[in-house]
Amino acid sequence: MVNLTIDNRQVTAPKTATIYEAAEMNGIKIPILCHDKKLKPFGACRMCLVEVEQMKGRQIPACTTPVTEGMIIHTATPDIIKARKMVLELLLLNHPIDCPVCDKGGDCDLQNLTYDYQVNGNRFTDEKFHHQIDYNNPLIERDMNRCILCGKCARICDEIVSFGALTFIDRGIETKIGCEFDGALNCEFCGSCVSVCPVGSLLARPFKFKARFWSLTKQKTVCGYCGTGCNLTLGVKDNKVLTTIYDQEQGFHKGQLCVRGRFGYQFINSEKRLTKPMLRKNGTLVAVGWDEALDFVVGKLKGGNVAALSTARLTNEEFVLFKKVMELSGSKDFDHSAGYAHSALTEGFARSFGTTASPATIPDIQKSNFLLVIKSDAYETHPVAGFEINMAVKNKGVVLNILSDKHGKLGKLPGAKTLLHVPGSEIALVNALSKVILDGKKAAGIASSVVGYSQLEQSLSDCSVEAVAATCGVSVNDIIELANDYSAAEKALIVFPVGLAYPGHNAELASAIANLAILAGKIGSEGSGVLCMSEKNNSQGAVDMGFYPSQDGKNAQQILDGCASGTVKTLFIAGENPVVSYPDRTKTAAALDKVDCLIVSELFLSETAAMADVVLPACSFAEKEGTFTAADRRVQHIKPAIRKIGLSRSDFEIFGVLISRLGGEVPVSSATVFSEIASNTSGYAGMSYAALGESGAFAPVDIKPAFVDVKAPGQTRQAGKLALLTGSSLYHCGTMSQYGEGPMHVCPEGYLEISRKDAANNKISENDLLTVTSASGSVQLKARITPRMSEGVVFTPYHFSSASVNQAWNGTEVTWVTLNK
């Protein structure tokens, strides 16, 4: 820490701080336009000029000057104020003063400073710019006439998003922000540039002209898409969520969001939302009152042979109540997300770590020295966690290694190494890494005392690195090098995504990875561990609340089999759309068709809801109170941003009524249910809504490591066929994002990524409609030829109802398909 004087106040600041940061830490405001907490100092705007006595009264920029011991700084002398006024005059010289029609008005840094410094006229005259405005982009509108060239957009796109879509182009007075060759913007559309723009140059097009900033009610909440658990601020007006608002103080990610978080909110106020309960009468669904619908549901639940499937998007409190409903109905058969999506946690980690949670957190990514990412999709499933990886690699020099069956964006980071393997061979590869560590006597000292060490040694004794290398398509040297680097790193973290579309990421892979981490001793300390990135916003919560089958209960697949065979009479589905998202559409749809009574509580009339006997309109995350548990077990409190839509009720209310009708004890409020959770869930002790506050709290993970013998599955390569991988698209999450206009503007339909070689071999060109046929069925998808796929491997995201991939995909790790035009 250094001591310095700012405006006659004695303050202290860390050695690495700049004058601007030191002032901000001590509550002294210095005006600035080109600074953001997350970005490196740039010094473009010259608004933050201050005087330092030791520098003979010269005016220097506060944002780029580091503090030194004994500095005496003045931030607002008459000379400085005069200089700042001139800076503003010069900025306003070319800036069109179109505040009345600019959506940034009210939230504009330039407008606020102009007002603060009372710049009412201009001594200079110059012509305004006449750059062409980009109205064509569906998400980001670019008006470079308003730009003040602070460079924040270009820097955030480069430093954090690592895409580099925007940069300074042209020279001198003509300099402007643009894309390569001044072309159209075609990027990830995360909107980070929009969020940091201090003026109205970059605007969110979906929010264009919708409302003025000051008329919005700002409600802080947690994003309802993936398991990263990003904090959001929703801008609400007239009971409508109109936009998301940037707040650089919010969350571990400092307000940074991805495309679905920032632009995918439209599903909340979608016109397709269900507003009335519906009951099937004479074959068609007709709107009925709640009493009639619930009478019907209660009657069926009392009838016995009940099972339940749930989405992982309910709140923790709702999971507890849903479980109670099932208990009162005398059923032990309930599950979420097709079973395998969370088996990595509930079975794999339960065996290996003695707990059903990841022994690492997302902030550990930046504190680590070595990252091993299994499947490059970690960026696509959890983009904001991907930004953390970007920053770790670029700013902190973290070594990044990727073990994947296709190339991805993470592999383009400086120094990143991608080991491309044959699809479905992750477990064999991870076992081979363990083997190398064992053979090289590089295992951590404590590893030999862990339960199951000798069995692991024995089971790995017949594992040959050369054989694995040959079958996985990776060189022996690469495997040995990776294993040695991993064990040699001081702190090392393994990240892998799990979810509906990642059937190979199951209990076995989790245990294999856990073995590797325990063996190398990379567990239990800051910056080390294994991070299992669960897919949905409350997947970890569903597991923590125990919403998965116990020993004698049926899992999702067995429940569907039960429906087909008639042992399950009533199926209650909350928020899930198995027809589109579960593997093998034909089988799933047939099972749902067969079951006597299908109860669905949903936001939309999804494919599954359309088959139901009774449909209950539920609430989205923006309309209810509760808690979500992120992938790294960060428990966060959400509050309603808008009133409920139509006659819809939250699942909490629906389950509450059902519990009372089934003779159970009715919960008073979600707060009381949460206090119940806090008292009987490990790690949640001491939590309450008040204690969680805005930032939430981590539920600590207590691990008891054990080695588990994992056998790699045999290769099932089929000659002449291509390996179909399923996964997540960057713009979507689950099937809910289909109702968000933002994601649908960018990625409206399914596609099939195919390598150039395969495309050439099969004479396929871009956008050709292909029939993808597997043993279980076929689906039509448009071809997208990319360099990121290797020969013999094709990839498709699973989110879309219009061409649902599960017609051809049956839930095995790799589906072998043929392509026809």
Judged by the rule CB under 8 A, the positions of this chain that interact with another protein are 99-101, 105, 133, 135, 208-212, 214-215
Beta strands in 356-426 (DSSP E): 370-374, 399-404, 417-420
Torsion of CA 35, 37, 40, 45, to 10 degrees: 0
**Which sign does the torsion angle of CA 635, 640, 641, 642 carry?**
positive
Give the nearest distance from C-beta 791 to another protein in angstroms: 46
Closest CA relative to residue 254, chosen from 413, 39, 110, 108: 39
Q: Which is nearer to another protein, 210 or 367 (CB)?
A: 210
User: What tokens does 251 get?
Assistant: 């969350």
User: Would you tell me how many other CB atoms lie within 10 Å of the CB of residue 356?
Assistant: 22
Q: Which is nearer to another protein, 27 or 121 (CB)?
A: 121
Give the nearest distance from C-beta 137 to another protein in angstroms: 12
Amino acid symbol at 35: H
Closest CA relative to residue 17, chosen from 66, 72, 51, 73: 66
DSSP secondary structure, 324-359, as one string: HHHHHTT---EEETTTHHHHIIIIIIHHHHSSSS-S
Give the nearest distance from C-beta 100 to another protein in angstroms: 3
Amino acid symbol at 308: A
DSSP secondary structure, 430-450, as one string: HHHHHHHHHHTT-S-GGGGGS
Closest CA relative to residue 433, chosen from 317, 362, 514, 342: 514
Question: Do 405 and 423 form a contact (C-beta atoms < 8 A)?
Answer: yes
Q: Which residues face 451 on adjacent strands? A: 706
Question: Could you give the CA distance from residue 672 to residue 653 in angstroms, rounded to a whole number?
Answer: 14
Q: Which is nearer to another protein, 66 or 96 (CB)?
A: 96
User: Would you tell me how many other CB atoms lie within 10 Å of the CB of residue 107?
Assistant: 17
Phi, psi for residue 641 in degrees, rounded to 5: -100, -30
Give the nearest distance from C-beta 545 to another protein in angstroms: 43
Give the nearest distance from C-beta 261 to another protein in angstroms: 25
Beta strands in 213-288 (DSSP E): 217-222, 231-237, 240-244, 278-281, 284-287
Give the nearest distance from C-beta 130 to another protein in angstroms: 15
Pairing of strands 334-336, 306-310: parallel
Give the nearest distance from C-beta 101 to another protein in angstroms: 4
Give the nearest distance from C-beta 317 to another protein in angstroms: 37
Give the nearest distance from C-beta 209 to another protein in angstroms: 4
Q: Which is nearer to another protein, 237 or 782 (CB)?
A: 237
Q: Which is nearer to another protein, 210 or 351 (CB)?
A: 210
Q: Which is nearer to another protein, 181 or 209 (CB)?
A: 209
Give the nearest distance from C-beta 237 to another protein in angstroms: 11
Q: Which is nearer to another protein, 211 or 476 (CB)?
A: 211
Question: Do 602 and 629 form a contact (C-beta atoms < 8 A)?
Answer: no
* 598 secondary structure, DSSP code: E
Phi, psi for residue 346 in degrees, rounded to 5: -75, -30
Give the nearest distance from C-beta 122 to another protein in angstroms: 17
Pairing of strands 529-533, 492-497: parallel
Question: Could you give the CA distance from residue 172 to residue 153 in angstroms, rounded to a whole number?
Answer: 19
Closest CA relative to residue 232, chosen from 639, 624, 633, 604: 639
Give the nearest distance from C-beta 114 to another protein in angstroms: 14
Q: Which is nearer to another protein, 144 or 447 (CB)?
A: 144
Give the nearest distance from C-beta 577 to another protein in angstroms: 34
Q: Which is nearer to another protein, 100 or 714 (CB)?
A: 100
Q: Which is nearer to another protein, 103 or 758 (CB)?
A: 103
User: What tokens does 36 get?
Assistant: 């953001």
User: What tokens does 133 get?
Assistant: 């405005």
Q: Which is nearer to another protein, 199 or 781 (CB)?
A: 199
Question: Could you give the CA distance from residue 717 to residue 440 in angstroms, rounded to a whole number?
Answer: 32
Distances, alpha carbon 218 to alpha carbons 2, 193, 467, in Å:
38, 21, 58
Give the nearest distance from C-beta 154 to another protein in angstroms: 24
Closest CA relative to residue 624, chosen from 640, 647, 601: 640
